[in-house]
């Protein structure tokens, strides 16, 4: 799995003294965007018509994360479909799983404003990247 270190910010912490649940999605977004960038998946408009978008988020909270904990996000594709794929993400706190995430993403055409099949070269490129990480 591809690993992204996360730097906790003071404003990530809520009144209970742990990282707010909504902030976890920001951590996953950071891990996801770096994963896509480093694996070659186009995400910005200047990279062409094809991109990917989130269509479903599922999170399971296992452990609290506190301000001085060491946090990282791990990311990989766990399922390929024709127009969609599942992204598995783990938020680790001091080496233990704190949050598990399953994100369903869809291939998308900016010009057609519609879901489109994921090009085989994207699938191959990301699968190769996952094997290396």
Q: Which three-class secondary structure string do you get for 41-60? A: CCCCHHHCCEEEEEEEEEEE
User: Does residue 43 register a pLDDT over 80?
Assistant: no
Report whether 99 contacts 58 (CB < 8 A): no
Predicted TM-score (pTM) of this structure: 0.90
* pLDDT given at position 41: 86
The average pLDDT across 82-103 equals 97
The average pLDDT across 41-68 equals 89
* pLDDT given at position 44: 74
Report whether 57 contacts 92 (CB < 8 A): no
């Amino acid at each position: 799995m591809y690993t992204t270190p996360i730097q906790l910010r003071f404003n990530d912490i809520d009144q209970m003294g742990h990282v707010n649940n909504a902030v976890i999605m920001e951590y996953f977004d950071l891990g996801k965007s770096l994963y896509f960038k480093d694996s070659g998946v186009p995400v910005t408009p200047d990279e062409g018509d094809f991109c990917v978008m989130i269509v479903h988020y599922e999170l399971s909270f296992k452990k609290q994360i506190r301000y001085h904990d060491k946090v990282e996000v791990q990311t990989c594709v766990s399922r390929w479909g024709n127009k969609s794929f599942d992204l598995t993400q783990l938020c680790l706190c001091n080496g233990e799983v704190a949050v598990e995430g399953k994100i369903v993403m869809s291939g998308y055409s900016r010009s057609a404003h519609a879901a489109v099949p994921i090009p085989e070269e994207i699938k191959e490129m990301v699968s190769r990247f996952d094997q290396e990480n």
